[in-house]
């Protein structure tokens, strides 16, 4: 064991949804560990700010906006990253949504709620991994991290499309790890409740917040930075025998 195992120098990572929240924290975490990082999202200002934060840690970055539901944009992201930074070693599929039309009991969910959620959370991850397949296989130690959710392990009321997308992502992680071993490791990172824009509504609703915290032994929401360390671990040689797994980072929420 050596601390060098966590060193990501000479690695290039792409982080989808890297403009804010968990993705931005993971992008910075990977940069702090030495990787060059391309944090991408749809909002240009967020992408510029995230790329600038990556550079502030001494790493190279690119400012590329991407919508993970658009195949051409995903392919351009990977091509441009490989051309400018010499390859793609790590893909973090973090872009995710849980939009209003997808919230509620099954009979109330609007028709596009399921489509839209699956298109970003599940198909978006598939598109990015598929587009990067050649790069990931050509490099020594290719790595995919799919950011799932505790909603990928258990049911959550009123969030059927989200839960379906995240269960799908955990399943896809396992299948992809079988097809791509031994060259490329593929794992799911499974956060519990994290303080980001995605959970603003939950945290503002006193009853909901209390019910979540009552189930959380650590009795608080995570900060996004607390998800970054486990992501760095999965991307690093310290996790060289870890593939097809789900790393749960939930303050104990699923332990009950
Ligand atoms: P945020 O809403 O804070 O950030 C989501 C990011 O995804 C943004 O950068 C957003 O940027 C980007 N994004 C959304 N849609 C697309 C798209 N079509 N193409 C590209 N990028 C997109 O969410 P979190 O940081 O909280 O969530 C990140 C991931 O972690 C998600 O997959 C989420 O499901 C998961 N997660 C979050 C938990 C939490 O408690 N917060 C718990 C468990 C899992 P833009 O809109 O500019 O494109």
Nearest ligand 1 atom to alpha carbon 93: 32
Inform me whether the pLDDT recorded for 155 exceeds 90.
yes
The helix/strand/coil state of 27 is: helix
| Tens of pLDDT, residues 86-105 | 999 999 999 999 998 888 99
Please tell me the distance between residue 2's alpha carbon and the centre of ligand 1 in angstroms: 33
Q: Give the CATH number for residue 109.
A: 3.40.50.720
162 a catalytic residue: yes
Query: Using an 8 Å Cβ cutoff, are 95 and 120 in contact?
Result: yes
Query: What pLDDT is attached to residue 96?
Result: 98
> Does residue 80 form part of some domain?
yes
Please tell me the distance between residue 68's alpha carbon and the centre of ligand 1 in angstroms: 11
Please enumerate, as own/partner, the contacts of 98-106 that have beta carbons within 8 Å and a separation of 24 or more: 98/159, 98/162, 98/198, 102/159, 102/160, 102/161, 102/162, 103/158, 103/159, 104/158, 105/157, 105/158, 106/160
Q: Which ipTM did the prediction report?
A: 0.99
> Does residue 256 form part of some domain?
no
Closest residue (by CA) to atom 12 of ligand 1? 17
| Tens of pLDDT, residues 51-85 | 999 999 999 999 999 999 999 999 999 999 999 99
Structural domains in the chain (count): 1
> Does residue 255 form part of some domain?
no
Task: Give the residue numbers spanning the domain of 222.
Answer: 3-250
- Ligand 1: does its nearest atom lie under 6 Å from the Cβ of 253? no
Please tell me the distance between residue 99's alpha carbon and the centre of ligand 1 in angstroms: 11
Inform me whether the pLDDT recorded for 50 exceeds 90.
yes
Query: Using an 8 Å Cβ cutoff, are 108 and 150 in contact?
Result: no
For ligand 1, pick from 96, 246, 249 the residue to mutate: most ligand atoms within 8 Å of CB: 96
Strand order in the sheet with 142-147: 36-40, 12-16, 90-93, 142-147, 184-191, 246-249
């Amino acid at each position: 064991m050596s601390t060098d195992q966590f060193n990501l120098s000479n690695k290039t990572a792409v982080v989808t949804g890297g403009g804010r929240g968990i993705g931005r924290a993971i992008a910075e975490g990977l940069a702090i560990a030495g990787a060059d990082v391309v944090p991408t999202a749809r909002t240009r200002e967020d992408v510029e700010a995230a790329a600038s934060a990556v550079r502030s840690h001494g790493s190279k970055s690119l400012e590329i906006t991407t919508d993970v539901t658009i195949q051409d944009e995903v392919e351009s992201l990977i091509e441009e990253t490989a051309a400018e930074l010499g390859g793609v070693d790590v893909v973090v599929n973090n872009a995710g949504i849980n939009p209003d039309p997808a919230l509620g009991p099954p009979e109330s969910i609007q028709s596009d709620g399921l489509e839209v959620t699956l298109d970003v959370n599940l198909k978006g991850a598939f598109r990015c991994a598929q587009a990067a397949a050649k790069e990931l296989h050509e490099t020594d130690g290719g790595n995919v991290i799919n950011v799932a959710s505790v909603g990928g392990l258990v049911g959550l009321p009123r969030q059927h499309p989200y839960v379906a997308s995240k269960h799908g992502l955990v399943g896809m992680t396992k299948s992809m790890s079988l097809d791509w071993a031994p060259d490329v490791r593929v794992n799911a990172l499974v956060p519990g409740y994290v303080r980001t824009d995605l959970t603003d509504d939950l945290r503002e609703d006193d009853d909901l917040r209390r019910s979540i915290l009552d189930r959380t032994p650590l009795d608080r929401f995570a900060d996004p930075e607390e998800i970054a360390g486990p992501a760095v671990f999965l991307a690093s040689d310290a996790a060289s025998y870890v593939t097809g797994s789900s790393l749960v980072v939930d303050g104990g929420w699923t332990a009950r």
